[in-house]
Structure 1
């Protein structure tokens, strides 16, 4: 991308504003709009729906960019001059906004039930004094006597206006259902359903593994984080949501059934996948143990998670508990004193949970210890995307794609010309003859088969003909990357399907069979692998074939990564 310099930018914009533009007068589309708006009942519908209008969406993108730049400069000035008060939540960075209002509302419902009438009247008088609409349409009243809801027509205000009554099912305030207090059980059910729905929709998408984790962190976990500290929840309920997440990931193929649980929640930098656990997230939001500590987000690629900051300031703090104690707003100070923050007491801090995950993972032989042994395999993609190095991530051999381990061991065009055929020293020094024949058997090595019909795939790697039994075997080995072994196995069977029928007809064979021998570059095999090698009846085990593949992969990786 070419970035214009200051002179080019100035010339571009000056030409836009200096050149006059002639607009078409009375266009047809404008007349059609006017006729439609003049229709019967249209104006009434517009006036009734005016609360849902969002004029900012009609503004051009360029206007939003320019105002964003100006707003940033204004904010920096107001911050330096200390002109922004704590109550300016819509303007102040790092403000909790709706979370503040929910906790203030919860405190009022708990401590000031008998004073609500007076508070409502005070708000009305204040609203009239500043010439601001009170907003009765968004308010409601519920009368409760001796713990039971009493029927009423609403509440008449001193100015004669009527405040509507709230139904027994409750009233939603900033997304939280409440009556005389927050309805915790109903809200927990709603949060669980919405969280599960979002996770399921993300897993149904076509995103890759890394982006699925980022999407869950930013879109699904945020639903739970919003209610942290407000809605009561037990540790068992949070753990159950984490188990549900792992179950859904397994169902949709985003997590192997036998995959390590600790690695799922580890930072990507430490070899994990960077998923934010629900229990972990709630603790980080409200835990008092976070005081005085600054953390970074577990997922380095999590674009939507702002739980943790690198530089904690007065306006950007880590937990709700610390946020309220640092606030200078009187109402928030009272929230802190009233001790209404839910889920605040935990046995472990956020740092302790992450540390325990890491210790358990590193002590597992086939997981953490394997990662330690392979952490020196730092491809360019890993160094740029995970470790944050400023470098070109394209392959140093072909330059045609991102340099990942998968690309190096099975996809690079330059290496495909020679290296992939030399998977181990013993194999590539052996040069078999094209044809070997005896009285009982005939073996063809990489030999094209002539047929009456022209076939695209007529050259299997090994063809074995048993003369006495009238049996022919097409043995086709392959060593793709481990994520593609099943697809490669199916591809081998389909490619030689026509050849199989042609040979059975031309050579008068009783049985012709295609045997794919597919081993992943890192040693993985399919569930049908044992069945295929048993048909060879040679006493070969999976380990015998996996070893040369792994040795060849190690040789290729060493060779590529040693190059500058």
Structure 2
């Protein structure tokens, strides 16, 4: 019964995705089967920040997190959006003239992923208007902001970091700190698995399923130095040997 239910949900989700893919805006391309999900949005965000830093152009940002989005949005509004094939908020923001512009001429003023919205503009006044539009629209459909993070001034003034989709955002390079945090969490998960009573096969499957994603999520977003990769590799081998994962007389690598 469980397998049948999963197959049915998969079929419905596939058909729904094919139907809605024609109406999703470019700001929501992180959602779908042919994207990298949140990583896609983070890469776009990183590109915008790097472009502004490289060209020394103004970039004002605001990050909005909806409060209990799954519970607060009216079901009638979901049905209305599906029946009319509309994505009102994203379409409304894209029609405004307030946005950040790349050297190539490409323009972007927001990214939308699940209940997180990040807004971009060149001026303080423009970002204020984008926030106002989003707030008015959200109020009309019964949703409220759970959090609004807006750095003071331009990106050059951003010193205190904040998280966007699990990755620290800051003008001060946070990559070393993020790498250290990821490696610490990775080793913690690895120890828990190696201390379990799982056999060798299931330990490997658990490491692949639960431990490696801790590093894999950030691998494409922040830069990993060769030294950091080697240190992580050495730490992994030490933990495996310490917990007796490789056979004492084995001449082959465990991974």
TM score, norm. by length of structure 1: 0.29
Offset of 1:129 from its aligned partner? 4.6
Counterpart of 1:74?
Answer: 15
> 2:194·2:245 contact (CA, 8 Å) conserved in 1?
yes
Within 5 Å, which residues of 2 pair with 1:20-35? none
Larger relative contact order (C-alpha < 8 A, sep ≥ 6)? 2
Distance 1:217 1:97, change over 3 A: same
Q: Deviations over 1:204-238 (max 9, x none)?
A: 11111111111111211111110112112101211
CA–CA distance in 2 between the matches of 1:249 and 1:66? 38
Structure 1 unmatched ranges of 5 or more: 4-60, 151-167, 266-564
Distance 1:205 1:148, change over 3 A: same
| RMSD over equivalenced CA pairs, Å | 3.7
User: Is 1:209 the equivalent of 2:175?
Assistant: no
User: Is 1:113 the equivalent of 2:113?
Assistant: no
> 2:39·2:220 contact (CA, 8 Å) conserved in 1?
no
Offset of 1:102 from its aligned partner? 1.5
Within 5 Å, which residues of 2 pair with 1:444-483? none
Match of 1:195 among 162, 176, 186: 186
Counterpart of 1:253?
Answer: 244
Structure with a larger share of its residues in strand: 2
**Match of 2:146, SS?**
helix
Distance 1:107 1:149, change over 3 A: closer
Structure 2 unmatched ranges of 5 or more: 53-57, 61-121
Distance 1:121 1:178, change over 3 A: same
CA–CA distance in 1 between the matches of 2:205 and 2:153? 45
> 2:158·2:170 contact (CA, 8 Å) conserved in 1?
no
Structure with a larger share of its residues in helix: 2
Distance 1:210 1:120, change over 3 A: farther
Distance 1:91 1:230, change over 3 A: closer
TM score, norm. by length of structure 2: 0.58
Counterpart of 2:44?
Answer: 104
CA–CA distance in 2 between the matches of 1:133 and 1:195? 40
> 2:31·2:37 contact (CA, 8 Å) conserved in 1?
no
**Match of 2:150, SS?**
coil
Q: Rg: which structure is higher?
A: 1
Distance 1:116 1:220, change over 3 A: farther
CA–CA distance in 2 between the matches of 1:141 and 1:97? 24
> 1:199·1:216 contact (CA, 8 Å) conserved in 2?
yes
Distance 1:140 1:76, change over 3 A: closer
User: Is 1:235 the equivalent of 2:226?
Assistant: yes
> 1:249·1:255 contact (CA, 8 Å) conserved in 2?
yes
Q: Deviations over 1:144-164 (max 9, x none)?
A: 6896778xxxxxxxxxxxxxx
CA–CA distance in 2 between the matches of 1:146 and 1:65? 45
**Match of 2:15, SS?**
helix
Counterpart of 1:138?
Answer: 147
> 1:195·1:220 contact (CA, 8 Å) conserved in 2?
yes
